[in-house]
Structure 1
Amino acid sequence: MEPSKNEFNISLVMAGLMIGLLVAALDNSIMATAMPKVISSLGGMVYYVWPFTIYMLTSTIAIILFGKLSDLYGRKRILIAGIVLFVLSSVACGFSSNMLQLIIFRGIQGIGGGILITIPFIVVAELFPPRQRGKYTGILASVFGISNVLGPILGGVITDFMGWQWVFFVNVPVGVAAIVMLSIYFPHLKQVVREKVIDYAGLITMSLSFSSLCVALTYVRSSYLPEYVVGFLFIFAALMFILFIHVERRAVEPLLPMHLFKISVFNLSAVAMFLSNAVMFCGIIYIPLFIQKVLGISASGSGALITPMLVSLTVASLIAGQVISKTGTYKKMGVMAFGLITVGMVMATTITQSTGTAEILIYTTILGIGSGIMYPVFTVAIQNAVLRRDIGIATASSQFFRNVGATITLPIFGLIVNLTMNMDINAVSSVPVGPMITAIHNVFTFGIVMCIIGLIASLMLKDAVLSNSNDFNVIDEPVGTEEV
């Protein structure tokens, strides 16, 4: 049977969303491979981490801001604007003549990236009824796994054969293709919020709080910033956070509505997403470090060993979405996911110099399966628990907490390694094997603690029978149906 015109259009819309999401998801993983050549070309080794840090910072802030702006000005307009911004800033990054320019343009690119990793999930929530969202959310989420597999490979090939600038220029044709597809086939979605009031005070206080916290965590026990400056940044971040909460309680159209935190499913899912992403990056970063520094395997060899984790993450995300759509419930999948990543992290703490590659493959694959299941589960849970008028900002919030999980805990992981070895983290290449094993095992132990907290949160989560209808003429009724 031939697909109907509506099915064909939906396929093209999903293709456009996935292309835009893939461009943003690929960006950091491609950059990781290209950065050594960038440093050789532009200099500024002391600023090596900043093109990554500034991108993560601005994209995380943009997630909440533009999730809300899409409520006010429409999903299509904000999404296409995000793609245009991402493409133009990519061109600017490619033409950068020094590290300062690259850092500035990466910050702008991060704003576009934040839009691209948020709006597609909101669109899925509005296009499909709750029971079908798991399937399409899983399809979108699989893009992150694909990007983690392809990114380092593409980054290396493009940098070696075309120059590091083309890591950015390659975004142009892909971004243009996404714009064309979405401009033609993007469906009409009902406007959610009619009163166009922008919460400037909330934006400023949240940005100052999050930025200060990220910088403080990055430079704890670092020679680049004095301890008193780091301490001041922590205090300032706390004060701005308190002020942000105060502002949001009184805002007409708050950036992050405080009433969402009265919903237990939202709170527990936010905690679960924060922790699951943190644990995933714990595995993605520190298992390769162990493989290279302790086992003495090459970078390409460690990449090969970590690839099954990323592939299993992608496949598990797709399957989990299908299972949610078929069963109409999500809680069991969430519990299973945290159970798997807990087992995977426990196994990771048993890795020693005598551990074989087959065992490492098993451990990383288990971590990948658990992490992949996470992606659709808690996004669907949050979307199903809120009012229709809040579905955009609630979905953006879920992406925000997921991003924050990595942004905040990565410096903490580095600090654990630093404190364990009692030396500068930048000097890890000269550390004896024994302290290195202990340091990485301590990171994995911290990961286990996060897994256990996440498992408790998923056990406390209220399940629901997902509806198979999607009446968008009603925007102020709960999306879900019956709790079980």
Structure 2
Amino acid sequence: MESEKFNPKNIKVLLAGLMITMLVAALDNSIMSTAMPKVIASLGGMAYYVWPFTIYLLTSTIAIILSGKLSDIYGRKKILIIGLVLFMVSSVICGFSQNMLELIIFRGLQGIGGGVLLTIPFIVVAEIFPPRQRGKYMGILSSVFGFASVLGPVLGGVITDFMGWPWVFFINIPVGLTALYILRSHFPHLKEVVTEGIIDYSGIISLTASLSSLFLALTFVDNASVSSILVAGLFIVAAVMLVAFLFIEKRAREPILPLHLFNSSVFNVSSIAMFLASAVMFCGILYIPLFIQGVQGMSAAVSGMLVTPMLVSLTIASIIVGQVISRTGTYKKMGILAFMMITLGMWLLSTMTTGTGITQLLIYSTILGLGSGMMFPVFNVAVQNAVGKRDLGTVTASMQFFRNIGATVALPVFGVIVNLSVNMDIQTAKNVPPAIMSLAIHNVFLSGLVISVAGLVICLFLKELFLSDNMDSEVKKSDVTGK
């Protein structure tokens, strides 16, 4: 369905609905970033600090790659509403968790709904607007991540300090109900992409087994109570199931991740870049609040306020870059500049110590926020412009998939780095000395710096294709594959 079929009022209402829908999912991780230190203090187990984040990312990653294909078959509106309802129900039961195991399980369920909510709005925008206009609207949608990141830590800190951490989940309900009303009333009718209701169950099972095994292996790699043989076995299972997934996808009639997409150099570079940029961004979102609270000894509410400039800059940068892409019709320079800013921000953050002042922290984190915000619209626009209409939903979901995979893989690794750096029994520890915590977070930021440099190098190979103003334009195969 094309944009000219909407009047301006309908476009605004639709965008508002999509943005609110994304907000409930995007808000969830950011609001948890300042709440988690209090959750750990309440439920115990510093060693499990990243588990509620990583399990959410794991299940949402699986849901992301499925939601694109399921919405092709059953319709964007139906799948989006199902995801929203699941997200709200699981938010309620997360708030009633009595121990860390329950919270981790319920967060996994919540992630399934969240994965749907973070994917389909981007597909809808790609179907409605032509390639050159997508940059502007992708930037607007992407700004939701920044807005949620600004609002989330502040809300998380205030709610945790004055109402208790369970309320960071309950806050999702009124926002979710608002989104549900708009979607039911104003979502447009979009033509089905796939008429055959074929679901790639074998692909779903093999991908889930691979990602779950990898997640568990990365989580247990430094756990003395877990056998090294078991950890090695999990890595082997992850690799075997990945090979099986690729074998299955090559022969599937309707694969959840069509392998022909990897014939596109634009898709390959964008996937790797999105993977790396996401890992670095979550490094900042999770460990800057931990530095403020665990090293500088400030409250969760103050922590939320101090990370606000970083997240405001992320929001503004996302919107501006989207506008620049739409006006210039180019995206590669923006991608390179984004990774340069991310690299600079991570280097500065890695220099922080127990004596680092608030002003320095604000400047360093803001630079990271600018780079992260610039990154969001670039790669979505690049891959959507490099495929035909039939692959639009799948390729958009794939970008969100690799974005989540980056965080899913990186966060357990960062957790291992912290655990090894602390070098003490933190299975049930609730307090770690500030000097030791500072060293651990320093090592995490150094790891983020290495990742950001790799992303900058990869982005240099991004091929720039012409962004058309014509909704029906198709990209030549030679342009897509680079052959």
TM-score by structure 2 length?
A: 0.90
Q: How does 1:115-194 map to 2 (within 5 A)?
A: 115-159=116-160, 164-194=165-195
Question: Comparing 137-146 with 174-183, which one deviates more in the overlay?
Answer: 174-183
Q: Say whether residues 1:417 and 2:418 are aligned partners.
A: yes
1:478 maps to amino acid: V
* Structure 1 residues 270-302: Cα deviation after superposition (integer angstroms, max 9, x where no partner): 111111111112223333444444455555444
1:214-253: CA deviations, max 9, x gaps?
1111121114422222111111111111111111111111
Q: Show the counterpart of 1:459.
A: 460
Q: Which amino acid aligns with 1:339?
A: M
Cα gap change, 1:424 to 1:41, in 2 (>3 Å): closer
Q: Is the 8 A contact 1:83 1:116 kept in 2?
A: yes
Contact 1:467 1:480 in 2 (8 A): no
After superposition, where does 1:225-244 map in structure 2 within 5 Å?
A: 225-244=226-245
Determine if the alignment matches structure 1 residue 331 to structure 2 residue 332: yes
Query: Aligned pair 1:201/2:202, yes or no?
Result: yes
How far apart are the structure 2 equivalents of 1:480 and 1:131?
Answer: 19
Question: For the residues of structure 2 that align with 1:6 and 1:122, how far apart are their CA atoms?
Answer: 20
Gaps of 5+ in 2: none
Name the structure 1 match of 2:374.
373
* 1:298-377 superposed matches below 5 A: 298-377=299-378
Q: Distance in 2 between matches of 1:251 and 1:294?
A: 51
Q: Could you say which residue in structure 2 is the equivalent of 1:478?
A: 475
- AA partner of residue 126 (structure 1): E
Is residue 414–residue 425 contact of structure 1 (8 Å, CA) maintained in 2? no
Alignment partners' CA distance in 1, 2:234 and 2:54:
16
Structure-1 residue corresponding to 2:109: 108
> Structure 1 303/84 Cα, relative in aligned 2: closer, same or farther at 3 Å?
closer
Separation (CA, whole Å) in 2 of partners of 1:97 and 1:287: 27
Aligned partner of residue 460 in structure 2, secondary structure? helix
Contact kept? 1:93, 1:168, Cα under 8 Å: yes
Sequence identity, in percent?
Answer: 64
Rounded Cα–Cα distance in structure 1 between residues aligned with 2:433 and 2:13:
52
2:222 counterpart residue number: 221
User: How big is each residue's C-alpha offset from its partner over 1:8-62, in whole Å with a ceiling of 9 and x where there is no partner?
Assistant: 0011111111111001111233344555776788889987654433322211110
* Secondary structure, counterpart of 2:256 in structure 1: coil
Cα shift at 1:356: 3.3
**Which residue is 1:90 aligned to?**
91
Q: Which residue of 2 aligns with 1:24?
A: 25
- Structure 1 pair 295–93 and aligned structure 2 pair: CA distance change class (3 A): closer
Could you tell me how far apart the structure 2 residues matched to 1:217 and 1:42 are? 22
Letter in 2 for 1:150: L
Q: Shift of the alpha carbon at 1:192?
A: 1.1
Letter in 1 for 2:367: I
Match of 1:247 in 2: 248
The answer to which of 395-404 and 217-226 deviates more is: 217-226
**Partner of residue 53, structure 1:** 54
| Alpha-carbon distance change, 91 to 346 in structure 1, aligned in 2, over 3 angstroms | closer
Give a deviation string over 1:305-347, Cα, whole Å, max 9, x none: 3221111111111111111111111001001101111122222
Question: Number of residues paired by the alignment?
Answer: 477
CA contact (8 A) 2:31 2:152 kept: yes
Query: Which residue in the other structure is 2:406 paired with?
Result: 405
RMSD of aligned C-alpha atoms? 3.0
Give the equivalent residue in structure 2 for 1:283: 284
CA contact (8 A) 2:31 2:155 kept: yes
Counterpart CA distance in 1 for 2:252 and 2:5 is: 45
Alpha-carbon distance in 1 for matches of 2:439, 2:190: 53
Q: Could you say which residue in structure 1 is the equivalent of 2:397?
A: 396
Q: Which moved more, 1:166-175 or 1:380-389?
A: 166-175
Cα pair 1:282 1:447 within 8 Å, conserved: yes
Matched AA of 1:360 = L
- Between 1:131-140 and 1:416-425, the stretch displaced more is 416-425
1:11 corresponds to 2:8: no
- Deviations along 1:146-177, one digit per CA (max 9) or x if unpaired, are 21221233234445665655443433332222
Query: 1:381 Cα shift?
Result: 0.6
In the alignment, what sits opposite 1:445? 446
Which stretches in structure 1 are left out of the alignment for 5+ residues?
A: none
8 A Cα contact 1:124 1:133, kept in partner: yes
Contact 1:465 1:480 in 2 (8 A): no
Aligned partners of 1:312 and 1:479: how far apart in 2? 37
2: CA distance, partners of 1:102 / 1:289: 20
Relative to the length of structure 1, the TM-score reads 0.89
Deviations 1:327-383 (A, max 9, x none): 111001001101111122222233344443323222211111011000001111111
CA distance in structure 2 between the aligned counterparts of 1:390 and 1:11, rounded to whole angstroms = 26
Q: In 2 relative to 1, CA 98–359 (structure 1 residues): closer, same or farther, beyond 3 Å? A: closer
Q: Secondary structure at the match of 1:465?
A: coil
Call closer, same or farther: CA 1:291–1:97 in 2, change over 3 Å. Answer: closer
**Counterparts of 1:45 and 1:170, CA distance in 2:** 25
Structure 1 residues 448-457 or 411-420, which shifts more?
A: 411-420
